[in-house]
Amino acid sequence: MTTAPLYGTEPPAVAKRSIKRRMGEIASRALMPILKYAARPYLGGETIEDALCVAARLTREGHPVAFSHWDIGSEGAHEIEAIALDAMTALSGIAHDSYLALKPPALRFSQAAARRLASASKAHGVRLHFDSHGADVADLQIAMLAEMLNVVGPDSLGTTIPGRLSRSGDDAEWAIARGLAVRVVKGEWPEPGEASCDLRKGFLEVVDRLAGRARHVAVATHDLVLGQAAIHRLRAAGTPCEIEVLLGMPADALLAWAKDNGVKTRVYVPYGRGFIPNAVGILRHNPRLAMTIARAQLIPGRASRA
């Protein structure tokens, strides 16, 4: 009997266990008690309830939300599926526009799980979306989406296409033909044997393929110039589109531009046990947010007002 391969949900640059990463893990463990309590209003948390609290604030600010469970790699596929089903139950009572992003490797690319999750999506009225991973698993993800389309319509499904992969044009055509919503990202999994590539160029090539043809496109970036270029191209082609940013990442300039130009903006909110290493990484990129969290600890009630 053969054993199915296991695929991680962390990109190679994160998963590589360098000395720097091991030091970061030690720091993460030291900060964990603080982050679990202090960072939840700003960066998500371990449970869907934590994420919903963040979403309530974002909704008041005019941002719809994408929810995504971030695992730590030790959970089994059935546990990940149960977490997704619980999230859909929780999200079913929410009136505002939101969707649930899934990581197919954590589900071990199970087509049976795909059918069950699609059925739950249909029952609860919750849209599902696949995050992107490496080129080596892209066909497995497409097979899961194809299975879901046998259960639920394309209006309830979406997929993510990274600009850095040579196959992304074909994957965009597949999504267009089936009426799926698409999120475009630069991509964190390099092409096998890839020496270097122009991530912005690849991103815009995917956008150009989708413009005027895709049902809906989410421009997932914190890069002001790239986001502006992508939205201009999609709008010129009459394609419904929005900006999507990761909760906590510095994107003030892009969000301000989007507001001034009437562009819808969505915030991607991670939750789960993988929330802690994610929080540490975001705070490295956004020291201003780290200061905000520190001040919230010194001034009672500040976090609840943020």
Cβ pair 254, 224 in contact under 8 A: yes
Of 292, 244, 264, residue with least CA distance to 41? 292
The class that CATH gives domain 12-23+49-271 is alpha beta
d(CA 141, CA 155): 18
Rounded to the nearest 10 degrees, what angle do helices 224-236 and 199-210 cross at? Answer: 20
Enumerate the H helices of 134-198 as residue ranges: 138-149, 168-178
Tens-digit pLDDT string for the chain (306 aa): 334 455 666 666 655 545 454 544 444 455 555 555 555 555 667 889 989 988 988 998 999 999 999 988 889 999 999 999 999 999 997 766 899 999 999 999 999 999 999 999 999 999 999 999 999 999 999 999 999 999 999 999 999 999 999 999 999 999 999 999 999 999 988 887 776 789 999 999 999 999 999 999 999 999 999 999 999 999 999 999 999 999 888 889 999 999 999 999 999 999 988 766 666 666 666 566 555 555 555 554 544 433
DSSP 195-236: ----HHHHHHHHHHHHTTTSS-EEEE---HHHHHHHHHHHHH
Asked whether the whole model's pTM tops 0.85, one would answer no
Of 157, 102, 88, residue with least CA distance to 131? 102
Q: Name the one residue in this structure whose structure tokens are 């999507």.
A: 244
CB neighbours of residue 299 within 10 Å? 10
Residue 152 identity: V
